[in-house]
Amino acid sequence: MGDMHGNSPKTLRQDLLAIRKQLATSASYQAICQAILSELNRFLVHSDSQLRSIALYCPIQAELDLRPTALAWASQATGRTLALPFARPDKHLDFYVWQKEDLLIPSQYGVPEPDPNNPRRPQVSPDCILIPVVGWSESSDLGPNGLKKHYWRLGYGGGYFDRTLAHLRKAKPDLLCIGVGFDWQKLDDIQWQAQTHDEPLDAMLTESGLLR
Please give the model's pTM, rounded to 2 decimal places: 0.91
Helices (H), 8-121: 9-23, 29-46, 67-75
Residue 161 CB neighbour total at 10 angstroms: 24
pLDDT at residue 90 greater than cutoff 80: yes
107-155 pLDDT, tens digit each: 888 899 999 999 999 999 999 999 999 999 999 888 788 888 889 999 9
| Torsion angle defined by CA atoms of residues 39, 45, 47 and 48, in that order, rounded to the nearest 10 degrees | 160
Q: Are 123 and 95 in contact (CB under 8 A)?
A: yes
Q: Give SS3 for 113.
A: strand
Q: How far apart are CA 157 and CA 69, in angstroms?
A: 27
Q: Are 76 and 47 in contact (CB under 8 A)?
A: no
Return the pLDDT at 88: 93
Q: How far apart are CA 153 and CA 138, in angstroms?
A: 9
- Ordered domains of the chain (ranges, CATH): 9-211 (3.40.50.10420)
Q: How far apart are CA 63 and CA 50, in angstroms?
A: 26
Q: How far apart are CA 151 and CA 112, in angstroms?
A: 27
Q: Which residues are annotated as a binding site?
A: 63
Return the pLDDT at 49: 78
Q: Which residues are annotated as a binding site for substrate?
A: 63
